[in-house]
Chain A
Amino acid sequence: MNFSYTILIPLIPLFVFLFVGILHTKLTPKIAGSIGVLGLSTTTLLSLYTAYKYFFEVGKVGEVYQTFIGAKTTWINFTDTLHIDMGVLLDPISIMMLVVVSFISLMVHIYSLGYMKGEAGFNRYYAFLSLFTFSMYGLVIATNIFQMYIFWELVGVSSFLLIGYYYDKPSAVAAAKKAFIVTRFADLGFLIGILILSYYAGTFDFQTLNDPQGAIILNGIGGSFMGLSVLTWALILMFMGGAGKSAMFPLHIWLPDAMEGPTPVSALIHAATMVVAGVYLVARMFPLYYFIDGGFVLQIVAYVGAFTALFAAIIACTQNDIKRVLAFSTMSQIGYMMLALGVSGYDGHEGLGYMASMFHLFTHAMFKALLFLGAGSVIHAVHSNLMKDMGGLRKYMPITNITFLIAALSISGFPFTSGFFSKDEILAAAFEQNKLLYFVGLFVAGLTAFYMFRIYFSIFWGKDRDYKHAPHESPLTMTIPLILLAILSIAPGYIHFSDFISADRTSFVAHLDFPLAITAVVTGLIGILVAFVFYKKESNIPERATKAFGAIYTWAYHKFYIDELYLFVTKKIIFNVVSASFAWFDKKVIDDGMIGIGNATINSSDKIKKLQSGKFQDYATWFVVGAIALVLYFLYKN
């Protein structure tokens, strides 16, 4: 099977980007938008076609899913062995990601036709969307770690551009900068990890690196540093990059602020696709993570994931901006995925966590995108992000209401939604491996249900606010994607993911573990119930609850002051102490030092001017003294 056409999948958005980007002042919004949608439709079809071909026709040879290289070309040579290739790698997870990215991106493209209508930078927006899609494709299909890094950076910059879309809003600018710099900082780890890994492995190539029978995994080359092998360090550092992109604690601070971007962007980048890149990275290199040092790094991954899931869920309960709630929810759910990867084994059913993680990635993409787009629809209607400006909207926006409800149920793990299935697998995997992590996961599931329904009830139920003009349902361009996504928030649950995706590429059967599933569902229902009691009607219960939690609430409301800590470190220490002192040093010590040498020369000139006294008898004295001194010196020397 020749997959070389897959090269078109990233190239089409690239061309759309270049075309719309270069001509963005010339094109009308309509044309630009339709070019974008058209391009994305094509790539979506291509992705689906590829997925069909791969999973159902050619992918499986024997019992094992094969890896195909659709295209490959050398991009630059570094050393004799190290070189960056650009290519298309097709295997189950990359194809799954292709589908997810294409589909969500297409939905967002369509949705934005309505949502962004009339914006001044409409064309620019579409150009950036295409750029992002291109970069994300490139990341997903990377054949080697360096290609992934390249596109990793590109998605970062697309994210920067889209968050800063409203560039005359200082908060948006700040958020964009923050997002870029924080992820860039994480990428520093990623890059160093790559450098270490590639130096010892002698290759960037995923296939060579990941081969469980390969030299790297079997022999574990390299020395050790601070008690851990060098390769472990490399993997930890690479996970740092993934953690930054996926907003894991403590590199999460950029994600809530990133909500300054247009809502569809949040749906696409900061919910469904880019932020799961970290998960994808770990999944991509799973054999390494699993085999090197007996999965030491996976433990870190699991704990970081679990902690973030809990941490973010707690904060999500306290926020008032719906997009921020969703952002923290995203962090929490990605924490889940990380947790699942962290507790996964490798062979067959052992690899349940791996499968669950990918499964959850898939379902989460759908329902979280739906949540964001639904929220966008609401925001579009009431022109505010804050829950206090919303209420009773179910009457005005029926479609949005229903679809949002479906998504909320799905994320809460309500039975028969896709989220139920995927979350259940994660909990099952955790339960097998680590009871502590399981209970954390379970608790988070309850919290998730609570805060989701907190916002659901606040938005669609309760009293009407005094709207300036009556909210109305969004146009078709926005509702159709909502409906499609609503369907996909339920349907994928019935796909047997374990047939397609597993750590060791062989199919296995994953059962629904009923005791665990019932526990999870009950926890979720409790969450929903609490939310129902608290927020179905306006009451003072939430306030009392807030008071009861006291300091914890305040802490959580302020996101545990992590932002302030960062601000302190960057603004106060790096800017005002380090950089300012460097600038001072440069000005006062080095520059003035050099000038000082010059001035000293000039001053010395002034000092000795008295020698030239104008009295020729003085001159004669010098003359004679000089001659006699020379004589004496040489007489003495001889």
Chain B
Amino acid sequence: MDILSLFVVAPIITVAALLFTKNLQQSRVVALIGSLVQFGMSINLIFAYLAERATGNTSIMVFTKSVVWFKSLNIRYDIGADGITVFMIILASLVVLAGVFISWKIKDLPKEFFISLIVLATGVYGFFISLDLFLMFLFFEVAVIPMYLLIGIWGSGPKEKSAMKLTIMLMGASALLLVGLLGLYFYSSPDGNYTFNILEIAKVNIPAQVQHYLFPVVFIGFAVIGALFPFHTWSPSGHASAPTAVSMLHAGVLMKLGGYGVFRVAMYLLPIGAKEWSWFFIILSVIGVVYGALSAIKQTDLKYINAYSSVSHLGLVLFALLMLNKTAWNGAILQSLSHGFMTALFFALIGMIYERAHTRDVRELGGLLKVIPFISVIYVIAGLASLGLPGFSGFVAEMTIFVGAFQNVDIFHRVATILGVTVIVITAVYILRVVGMMLMGPLKKEEYRDFPKATWYEKTGIFLMLIPIIIIGTTPLWISDIIMESIKPFIERML
């Protein structure tokens, strides 16, 4: 079994083992073991990757494996990894692990919960490692569907509606995506040897006329899950209704599929289309960036605030991708990672607060620093990280994006970039508003005094998210260099 396929196999084995568990104790232990194994594998993967590169392997993808699946259509089980993949997998495995910890006390149908969670993880891993568009699409949908159950069964509030909205919108987006992928397939070869393999399609020059039509289709198809304005509306309500671990996975990992897909498929395979359309999508993404942040200011539900913040932050990812240079792209990947950890951390904390206070309304909370100091302090740290404080990942990512975006000289890009930069102020406003209202100030209600302190599993979950944020924030060089190396082929395509 090769090192990447394990990422599909291990979760499946975990799911199989979960099927035989009887109660919460058993299932959470099995889920924990499974996710620990996945995490270990992902750490192993980065070392293996570095070792592989150290041997002088300069091919675009390493650890590739190709198994014929549907021979007549040339659909293959093609997998491979580059630096970007490796980091995305680490992100996913960490968030899943933290999610298991955060869900340590899940009450209703624990077995099913963990199964859905792990199935989602399978989809995500699979998506990241696939080099075959069919495979990618398959895993994409595998990742999306468990969300319906996860939100619908274990969620809160108008959960059925939110779950339905989320699923239908994402599946609707995949309608576009499917058309785009089929288009790529049928233009992948002039002589009928069609292929879904990304690397092979990249060798073909798809006519500009075709790219002109295919690019927006593929881009929107992926970008909807990356919360592109105005298709972001599934995300706030979905977040708000989802249980904690699901919000984490959803914002932390699932939404990353969008940016990743845009980069890996739309940008890489359709460079001419990307150049042609970038202005249009830059406008949308800048609107998303500013709009998300401004919308977040006025929200009162913690999860809504965070969801809009995600719209803003992920808007920045798309924005950076559309800047079409390596610095901005590097920033986009860093921002994906950084946002993944930060939002997951945020949602974990919000979940903990909600569990104690049974409300997420900031107006009803206040002075929490006194009663749950640990959670509150981490919330402040997460907030500071989110508003781009140096020393945390957000800063590194945002600065890389802005510097990258500034490499485009013309006035349109300049104006867009400067509009995008304003988000650092707006973010500060809504983050500090929450920190000020909820954590600081006098204690709002007396009964808050009895809040239980953070438990060990909650703390573990928190640290799993916090540590990477700090690592990226303080020592970004090695990470960004690995990413930069992996971006080279994309740059070559674009030129």
Contact = CB atoms under 8 A, between A and B. Distances in A.
**Are A and B in contact, CB atoms below 8 Å, in the complex?**
yes
Interface in B441-461: 441-443
A236 B446 CA distance: 51
Given A153-B389, A180-B432, A77 B481 contact: yes
A181 B400 contact: no
B369 interface: yes
A79 B403 contact: yes
Interface in A526-563: none
Contacts of B433: 177
Interface string A173-192: 11011001100110110011
Contact of B395 (A153, A164, A196, A199): A153
A594 B421 contact: no
A332 B396 CA distance: 36
A149 B233 CA distance: 35
Interface stretch (B207-215, B251-259, B422-430): B422-430
A583 B432 CA distance: 19
B400 to A, nearest CB: 6
A105 to B, nearest CB: 20
Interface residues of B, number: 60
A609 to B, nearest CB: 21
B237 interface: yes
B120 interface: no
Nearest to B408: A199
A195 B295 contact: no
B40 interface: no
A195 B403 contact: yes
B53 interface: no
Nearest to B474: A75
Nearest to A177: B432
A157 B233 CA distance: 33
B418 to A, nearest CB: 6
B389 A157 contact: yes
Contacts of B325: 79
B233 A591 contact: yes
A574 B297 contact: yes
A180 B431 CA distance: 11
A74 B480 CA distance: 12
B442 A170 contact: yes
Contacts of B297: 574-575, 579
B395 A150 contact: yes
Contacts, number: 137
A192 B422 CA distance: 9
Given A173-B436, A595-B165, A82 B403 contact: yes
A466 interface: no
B298 A594 contact: no
A583 B298 contact: yes
Given A174-B436, A180-B432, A579-B294, A586 B233 contact: yes
A77 B421 contact: no
B369 A154 contact: no
B406 A196 contact: yes
Tell which of A82, A151, A579 has the most Cβ of chain B within 10 Å.
A579
Nearest to A168: B442
Contacts of B183: none
B440 A164 contact: yes
A78 interface: yes
A627 interface: no
B484 interface: yes
A186 to B, nearest CB: 9
B407 interface: yes
A611 interface: no
A514 B298 CA distance: 60
A130 B219 CA distance: 48
B404 A78 contact: yes
B476 to A, nearest CB: 5
Contacts of A76: 396, 400, 476-477, 480
Contacts of B400: 76, 78
A191 B396 CA distance: 13
Contacts of B406: 195-196, 198-199
Nearest to B234: A594
B294 A168 contact: no
A262 to B, nearest CB: 15
B425 A181 contact: yes
A591 B237 contact: yes
A164 B369 CA distance: 12
B230 interface: yes
A191 B441 contact: no
B65 interface: no
Nearest to A75: B477
Grouping DSSP codes into helix (H, G, I), strand (E, B) and loop, the B interface class, with mixed when no group exceeds half, is helix
Contacts of A582: 291, 294-295, 298
Contact of A168 (B236, B391, B417, B440): B440
B233 A167 contact: no
A154 B236 CA distance: 31
A180 B388 CA distance: 13
B83 to A, nearest CB: 14
Contacts of A173: 436, 440-441
A593 B422 CA distance: 28
A598 interface: yes
A578 interface: yes
Nearest to B297: A579
A580 interface: yes
B110 interface: no
A170 B231 CA distance: 38
A150 B237 CA distance: 35
Nearest to B299: A583
A584 to B, nearest CB: 9
Interface in A155-178: 157, 160, 164, 167-168, 170, 172-174, 176-177
A590 interface: yes
Given A154-B391, A177-B433, A195 B441 contact: no
A192 B325 CA distance: 19
Nearest to A154: B390
Tell which of B369, B404, B432, B484 has the most Cβ of chain A within 10 Å.
B432
A151 B389 CA distance: 10
Contacts of A184: 387, 424-425, 428
B389 A580 contact: no
Interface string B232-271: 1110110000000000000000000000000000000000
A582 B293 CA distance: 10
A354 to B, nearest CB: 29
A253 B305 CA distance: 27
A498 B395 CA distance: 39
Interface string A196-235: 1011000000000000000000000000000000000000
A537 B237 CA distance: 66
A310 to B, nearest CB: 29
Contacts of B308: 586
Interface string A562-597: 000000000000110011101100100011011100
B298 A580 contact: yes
Contacts of A79: 325-327, 403-404, 407
A575 B403 CA distance: 30
Interface string B385-399: 001111100011001
Given A167-B439, A184-B424, A593-B233, 5 more contacts: A74-B477, A75-B476, A167-B441, A168-B442, A199-B406
Interface of B: 165, 168-169, 230-234, 236-237, 291, 294-295, 297-299, 308, 325-327, 330, 367, 369-370, 384, 387-391, 395-396, 399-400, 402-404, 406-407, 417-418, 421-422, 424-425, 428-429, 432-433, 436, 439-443, 476-477, 480-481, 484
Question: Lowest 4 CB-CB distances: which A-B pairs, in order?
Answer: A167-B440, A150-B390, A579-B297, A579-B298
9 contacts: A77-B484, A78-B330, A82-B403, A150-B391, A177-B432, A180-B428, A188-B425, A579-B294, A579-B295
Interface of A: 74-79, 82, 84, 146, 149-151, 153-154, 157, 160, 164, 167-168, 170, 172-174, 176-177, 180-181, 184-185, 187-188, 191-192, 195-196, 198-199, 574-575, 578-580, 582-583, 586, 590-591, 593-595, 598
